[in-house]
Amino acid sequence: MEVKTSKTAAAPVMHTRQVGWWFLLKRNLYLSRHYYVLMAPFMLIFFMFTVIPVGISLGLSFFHFNMLELPRFVGWQNYSRLFLNDDVFLIALKNTLLFAVITGPVSYIACFLFAWIINELSPKVRAVMTLVFYAPSISGNVFFIWLIIFSGDSYGYMNGFLMRLGVILEPIQWLANEKYVLGIVILVQLWLSLGTSFLAFIAGLQTIDRSLVEAGTVDGIKNRWQELWYITLPSMRPQLMFGAVMQITASFAVAEISIALAGFPSVNYAAHTVVTHLMDFGTIRFEMGYASAIATVLFGLMLGTNIFTQKMLRKIGE
């Protein structure tokens, strides 16, 4: 009898919990209705132009679709072709990963170090230096100056400088030589990367409560490096995460710089990236199913890198 009584009593308890959870959800939605109304325009645009296109692209990657015929389901054929039969994609994937490994961490650390150093300057000098570091990222096609620097004739700054020093005897075709073109594109990408992340770090450093530094000194913080690790970095985790997302996106989405400097396609695909490969099949050949498979692989790479970065940032200050 006792067992039956306990089983019988369990059902009303579970029902009460479900009703209570549903009631609390509706109550919270009602109390926060103003916030949801304010968020509605952005969320609507976000779902229409981001979430839905990503979902359609993911589904379309399993179809053959050339925009002239109806989509035809081909299963995993696009992905098998991508990794087993497309040698150019493998070159593009290698170049993109190289971009991400070099430009991502280097530019991220450089942005923070420059922001940390500039933050210690006087307000007027800090404003000027912030403009100097941020200017390249808002100057449009200013990176075309690198076409003059690495011009393939003797009037190019790099060739003229090396010839005057006697290092070389004749001009080098920097942007037409596969030995140099990828390194040049990486260099320009690093130069342009001191942008939004740099501003986010400056803003984060400005909002740190100085009383935490004083309390840390009392608790045994002995130098600036300990202050950085135990106080500064944990206090600006939101800015660090924002900067990481921006740098990861920029490092994986390199295309415009590669096309402007190295051409499309570049010599022997030396500066070919996943995005330029996507543009080739999506906007030139109109193989939309295959292009969607390329986009899905790129999305997976970005998502995985972001998750890994989040786990690493949670360990800061431990």
Tally of domains in the chain: 1
**Distances from the Cα of 50 to the Cαs of 53, 174, 247, 253, in angstroms?**
5, 38, 19, 16
pLDDT band at 107, cuts 50/70/90?
Answer: confident
Instruction: Answer yes or no: are the C-beta atoms of 290 and 79 closer than 8 Å.
Output: no
Interatomic CA distance for residues 297 and 172, integer angstroms: 36
Q: Cα 210 to chain center, whole Å?
A: 31
* Low-confidence winner among 101-105, 183-187, 205-209 (lowest mean pLDDT): 205-209
Residue count of the chain, please give it: 318
pLDDT digits 0-9 by tens, 14-46: 444 555 777 787 888 888 888 888 888 999 999
pLDDT digits 0-9 by tens, 44-69: 999 998 889 889 989 999 999 888 88
Residue 24 lies in a domain: no
Q: What pLDDT shows up at residue 1?
A: 43
CATH number for position 157:
1.10.3720.10
Mean of the per-residue pLDDT values of the chain: 81
Neighbours of 39 (CB within 10 A): 12
Containing domain of residue 126, as a range? 74-314
pLDDT digits 0-9 by tens, 165-179: 888 888 888 888 888
Residue 56 lies in a domain: no
Residue 273 lies in a domain: yes
Q: Cα 230 to chain center, whole Å?
A: 26
Q: What pLDDT shows up at residue 292?
A: 92
Residue 221 lies in a domain: yes
Question: Is the pLDDT confidence value at 231 over 60?
Answer: yes
Residue 50 lies in a domain: no
Residue 193 lies in a domain: yes
More confident residue, 73 or 15: 73
pTM of this structure = 0.78
Residue 18 lies in a domain: no
Average pLDDT over residues 244-253: 82
Instruction: Answer yes or no: are the C-beta atoms of 274 and 92 closer than 8 Å.
Output: yes
